[in-house]
Amino acid sequence: MISHSLTIGEIIDKLKTKIFDFESPTDIQNDYLERENGIKRTIDNCMMLMKEFAITPGLDKLTKRQELKTEKCIENLSRYVKQLMEELDEDKIKIYCDNLKKEKQFSISPNRPFEPDLTFMLSNSFHIAIRTEILWSRRVTVLQAIQISKGELDLNDLGKHLPDLLKEIKTKIIPNVKHHEFYLSFADSINEAVKCYDKKLFRGCNLILITTIEGMVRQLANFLSIPHELGENFSEDKYMSLNRLLRDVTWKKDIIIDETRLSLMLGKNKTLKEYRSEFGIDRENVLIDLDTRLDFLKGRFKDDRDLILHGSYQEYNKKWNLYLNFSAFEETYEVCEYYLKKYSS
């Protein structure tokens, strides 16, 4: 593993070594300098991201799942740092910038001499990958994602999206739920959760949401038993936890998803350079299974759910909790709709 072999001394030496030094740089020389300095800044930022995994700010103890994910993120960031260090070479920088200049002569290219792999860095930051695990929610803005990755965002700021989220649920989801047999046993609970929100009974709202989401996933599992050729009833006796229900069943890979969306949901394990090396160009769509699509239910959502239901977490009436749970409900509903349209006769 690169994280085990890459030394701090190697990194520091690369950062200290000045490749270009011009008194009155030309335009192309400015490009050389911008690329060199950009690479060094990004290496430094990656080192700061890795440092946070050692400090684990805001968490007293990591779960086993979080420990494994921490190791993965550190390995990913170390690999990216190694790639960047290899680019800190005079000839490589000159060739890259000279080629970029030629490309600009024939097209209006927005490319700069260096752009960090921002999505990769965000998804492998402690506050996003471990503490919040919220990039699967499509309403998180780029600015909020950057602030979360730095630990600078009050998570209750995500509550600003609640009006839009509730409008979507009230105008599009609830009307459909009322008239579809699949959702009949959950319709009252969904309505009650929304009424609790409107009356500011936020603990009650969150409790109803997390139990409704689990019920919907179990209902979906039973619905998929025939088209996925599983031939079993997914009762709570056999699959006591939602995590086990998702993880231990061989679901078909039949969900089409955009690769960028998937990387935001799961975390990005390959740098842009690695994707291009493996596939030539970035993949646009991939096929995934139910476990992968609902992976967010095994992250921060699961941790909060377990603490709440065991009575260990009483302060679950914040805007952050509401945003997390309403977003999880919206995503779960979307997955149910996908399968109902795919397999209903």
User: Each residue of 179-229: pLDDT tens digit?
Assistant: 899 999 999 999 999 999 999 999 999 999 999 999 999 999 999 999 999
**pLDDT range class, residue 314, cuts 50, 70, 90:** confident
Q: What's the mean per-residue pLDDT of the chain?
A: 90
Task: Give CA separation, 248 vs 221, 295, 316, in Å.
Answer: 12, 13, 30
Distance CA 29, CA 21 (A): 9
What pLDDT, on a 0 to 100 scale, did the predictor assign at position 344? 86
What pLDDT, on a 0 to 100 scale, did the predictor assign at position 260? 79
HSE-up of residue 92 (Cα within 13 Å, Cβ side): 12
- What DSSP letter does each residue of 38-68 carry, written as one string? HHHHHHHHHHHHHHHHHH-TT-SS--HHHHH
Question: For residue 183, how far is the Cα from the chain centroid?
Answer: 28
Lowest mean pLDDT among 99-108, 130-139, 153-162, 265-274: 99-108
pLDDT digits (tens, 9 = 90+) for 130-151: 988 899 999 999 999 999 999 9
Does residue 43 have a pLDDT over 90? Answer: yes
Does residue 127 have a pLDDT over 90? Answer: yes
Give alpha helix (H) positions in 56-141.
64-87, 90-106, 118-123, 126
Q: What is the mean pLDDT of residues 43-69?
A: 91
Distance CA 285, CA 261 (A): 9
Distance CA 102, CA 94 (A): 12
Lowest mean pLDDT among 200-209, 277-286, 303-312: 277-286
Rounded to the nearest 5 degrees, what angle is found at the Cα of 114, between the Cα atoms of 71 and 48?
A: 35
What pLDDT, on a 0 to 100 scale, did the predictor assign at position 315? 81
Q: Could you tell me which of 218, 232, 191 has the C-alpha nearest to residue 294?
A: 218
What pLDDT, on a 0 to 100 scale, did the predictor assign at position 302? 82
pLDDT digits (tens, 9 = 90+) for 3-21: 889 999 999 999 999 999 9
What pLDDT, on a 0 to 100 scale, did the predictor assign at position 27? 93
Q: What is the mean pLDDT of residues 113-120?
A: 92
Token pair of 50, please?
A: 């890795």
Tell which wins on pLDDT, 65 or 12: 12
Q: Name residue 107's amino acid.
A: S
Task: Give CA separation, 113 vs 1, 47, 70, 98, 134, in Å.
Answer: 30, 22, 31, 10, 31
